Amino acid sequence: MSPAATPVAFAGLGLMGRPMGFHLLSKGHPLRVYNRTAAKTLGFAEKGAAVCATPAEAAKGSKIVFLCVGDGPDVEHVILGKDGIAETAAPGTLVVDHSTISPRPRSSSARS
C-alpha cells in the first residue's frame, strides 16, 4: 500500500511525537493530528495535515493511529475516554502506542 493510500493519525505531538508526525507527512501520508495543547499542532496544517479537536476526530478514517502521550491514564483516556480513538476507529484500525510508560496499570494491585 502506498503512503498516499494510507491515512494515518497521530495523537501526542510533544518532544517525540512532533518529529514523528512531520516524518509521516514528509513521506506522503495523509495525516490527521491531535494534541491537547493546540499550540503543539502549529506547523502541521501548513504542511498538509488536518488538525483535529479530539482523538476521535483524528482517528476517523485512519488506517493507523499513532499515540505518544505522557502516562498511562493519558493513554487510557485518549483511546477509551470520551471522544477517544475507540469511538470512531473502524474495525481493523492499527493503534501504535509510542509512549514511554510502564506496561502495567497504575493501581495498587499492579505494583510489585
| Residues 111, 27: Cα–Cα separation, whole Å | 41
Q: Where are the alpha helices (DSSP H) in 27-71?
A: 55-59
Structural domain boundaries in the chain:
3-100
51 within 8 A of 44, measured Cβ to Cβ: yes
The pLDDT, as a whole number, for residue 106 is 59
The pLDDT, as a whole number, for residue 3 is 64
Neighbours of 9 (CB within 10 A): 33
Q: 490527521: which residue's cell?
A: 32
For 66-102, the pLDDT digits (tens) are 999 988 889 999 999 999 999 999 999 999 999 888 7
- Over residues 52-75, mean pLDDT: 95
Paired sense of beta strands 64-67 and 94-97, if any: parallel
Q: State the pTM of this model.
A: 0.86
Extract the C-alpha cell encoding 105.
496499570
CATH number belonging to the domain at 3-100, selected among 3.40.50.720, 1.10.1040.10, 1.10.3470.10, 3.30.420.480: 3.40.50.720
